């Protein structure tokens, strides 16, 4: 239980009457937690008083650590409510931390990203943002643009004074530097979304090429049934996995083949739909046998999506590399895979090439050193970049400086939305209502 606000310092003596007054800040104490209305001991608990401003919210905070019984927690909550407290709204503790200057808005949003992280990569991104790494990149860009905006407005206000009527070369260079910095942050936007939200992976191929074995190997557990009998997987099998920190929503599909079996045909149709909805397609071919008619059908299914403008990136793996090669290097007519690798689920390092290829396909290339993963931040950066582009266009076309200043101000405001310098109540409400209670 956590209480923040002006009532917090009064609660220790009310809830722990046997402990002496004069609770020290940031010093935990243990004792009987008492219901003051009845005098009954509710639990033996820990109490921790944290005086402002050295607390999460920047206010006085009293934290109570009880045993895990919901009945105990409900009773303690009732006692606090009877003493003038109220239940916190979703995200209110973090909102108060932002309003009290304990963190900026980008850091506040990182709290919920930490809670919701679904992979090591997304957790790392959230922790970096919580540490203020994004803010430290945004702040100097915004500060420089504010200085340039002040200079432009001075030119407008003091046109008859001793102020030059146009931006000098140094100011233009500062604008160019700011735009390059914004564009650098945007370069990893796609990777940021993938690392934060994950990508959809469809594992496809003809029957009995090892699709389910590959999925099990990537998962590290026996999720899909594997037998020597072709067509064991008759429907799609879905699972979530991590490949080098990248989260994938993975679909192990039924073998794509020509069949008169009604159930098998339904499974094949679902496999085709899985290809259509995938961000990355892993096409599996059996290296130990010659290319079959079913392999050709599977190739055509993946190639057909490419012809239809499907954006999925395709990785081809020549599986069962532990066996003699009877496949050679097949022709991929109509298909341009991002990579072709060999794999084996029985060799010690037989899956490393697949993992590397899947990571590169999902991220669209090598991983950027720093990426912006939040969609709201990406939108603000794009608007800043567009506004700076309009500034340069205006200067090139000799547009009046008062009009140029509007675009420059829009760029400054867009960056301010990320860290919270320019933010309204509606935006704050939209952000913090996504939080859970107690954060």
Q: What is the pLDDT of residue 302?
A: 82
Q: What is the pLDDT of residue 156?
A: 76
Check: CB of residue 381 under 8 Å from CB of residue 372. Answer: yes
| Mean pLDDT, range 190-211, rounded to an integer | 86
Q: What is the pLDDT of residue 261?
A: 54
Q: Which of 119-123, 274-278, 332-336 has the highest mean pLDDT?
A: 119-123
Query: Could you report the per-residue pLDDT of 157-199, keeping only the tens digit for each?
Result: 765 555 556 678 888 999 999 999 999 999 888 888 888 888 8
pLDDT band, very low/low/confident/very high, at 235 (cuts 50, 70, 90): very low
Q: Is the pLDDT assigned to residue 306 strictly greater than 60?
A: no
Return the CATH number of 197-363, one of 3.40.50.1110, 3.40.605.10, 3.40.50.300, 3.90.320.10. Answer: 3.40.50.300
Q: Which of 50-54, 262-266, 345-349 has the highest mean pLDDT?
A: 50-54
Query: Could you report the per-residue pLDDT of 85-112, keeping only the tens digit for each?
Result: 999 988 899 999 999 999 999 999 999 8
pLDDT band, very low/low/confident/very high, at 225 (cuts 50, 70, 90): very low
Check: CB of residue 403 under 8 Å from CB of residue 434. Answer: no
Q: What is the pLDDT of residue 34?
A: 94
Query: Could you report the per-residue pLDDT of 364-398, keeping only the tens digit for each?
Result: 888 887 889 889 999 999 999 999 999 999 888 88
CATH superfamily of 110-188+373-432: tRNA modification GTPase MnmE domain 2 (1.20.120.430)
Query: Could you report the per-residue pLDDT of 130-155, keeping only the tens digit for each?
Result: 999 999 999 999 999 999 998 888 87
Please report the sign of the dihedral spanned by the C-alpha atoms of residue 349, residue 353, residue 358, residue 363.
positive
Q: What is the pLDDT of residue 267?
A: 56
Exposure b/e, 325-350, CB count within 10 A at least 16 = b? eebeebeeeebebbbbbbbbbeeeeb
User: What residues does CATH 3.30.1360.120 cover in the chain?
Assistant: 2-87
| Mean pLDDT, range 276-304, rounded to an integer | 85
Pairing of strands 313-319, 280-286: parallel
Q: What is the pLDDT of residue 413?
A: 95
CATH superfamily of 2-87: Probable tRNA modification gtpase trme; domain 1 (3.30.1360.120)
User: What residues does CATH 1.20.120.430 cover in the chain?
Assistant: 110-188+373-432
How far lies 198's CA from each of 247, 282, 413, in Å? 5, 16, 30
């Amino acid at each position: 239980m956590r209480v923040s606000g002006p009532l917090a310092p009064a609660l220790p003596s009310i809830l722990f009457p046997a402990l002496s007054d004069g609770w020290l800040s940031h010093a935990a104490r243990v004792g009987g937690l008492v219901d003051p209305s009845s005098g009954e001991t509710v639990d033996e608990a820990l109490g921790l008083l944290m005086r402002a401003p050295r607390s999460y919210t920047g206010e006085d905070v009293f934290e109570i650590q009880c045993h895990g019984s919901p009945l105990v927690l409900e009773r303690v909550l009732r006692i606090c409510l009877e003493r003038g407290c109220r239940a916190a709204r979703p995200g209110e503790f973090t909102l108060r931390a932002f309003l009290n200057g304990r963190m900026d808005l980008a850091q506040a949003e990182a709290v919920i990203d930490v809670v919701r992280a679904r992979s090591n990569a997304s957790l790392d991104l959230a922790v970096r943002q919580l540490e203020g790494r994004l803010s430290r990149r945004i702040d100097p860009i915004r500060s420089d643009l504010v200085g340039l905006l002040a200079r432009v407005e001075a030119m407008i206000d003091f046109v008859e004074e001793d102020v030059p009527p146009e931006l000098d070369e140094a100011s233009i260079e500062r604008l160019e530097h700011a735009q390059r910095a914004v564009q650098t942050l945007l370069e990893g936007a796609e990777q940021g979304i993938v690392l934060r939200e994950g990508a959809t992976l469809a594992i496809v191929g003809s029957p009995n090429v090892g699709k389910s074995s590959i999925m099990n190997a990537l998962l590290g557990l026996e999720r899909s049934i594997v037998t020597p009998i072709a067509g064991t997987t008759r429907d799609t099998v879905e699972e979530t996995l991590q490949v080098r920190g990248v989260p994938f929503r993975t679909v192990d599909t039924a073998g794509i083949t020509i069949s008169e079996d009604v159930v098998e045909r339904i499974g094949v149709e679902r496999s085709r739909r899985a290809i259509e909805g995938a961000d990355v397609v892993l096409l599996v071919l059996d290296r130990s046998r010659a290319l079959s008619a079913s392999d050709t059908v599977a190739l055509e299914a993946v190639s057909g999506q490419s012809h239809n403008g499907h954006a999925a990136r395709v990785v081809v793996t020549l599986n069962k590399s532990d066996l003699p090669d009877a496949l050679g290097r097949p022709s991929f007519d109509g298909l341009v895979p991002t990579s072709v690798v060999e794999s084996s689920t029985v060799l010690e390092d037989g899956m490393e090439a697949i993992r590397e290829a899947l990571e590169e396909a999902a991220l669209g290339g090598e991983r950027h050193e720093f990426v912006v993963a939040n969609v709201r931040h990406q939108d603000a950066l794009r608007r800043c970049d567009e506004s700076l582009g309009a500034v340069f266009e205006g200067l090139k076309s000799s547009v009046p400086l008062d009009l140029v200043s509007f675009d420059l101000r829009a760029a400054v405001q867009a960056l301010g939305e990320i860290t919270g310098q320019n933010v309204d109540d509606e935006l704050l409400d939209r952000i913090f209502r996504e939080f859970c209670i107690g954060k």
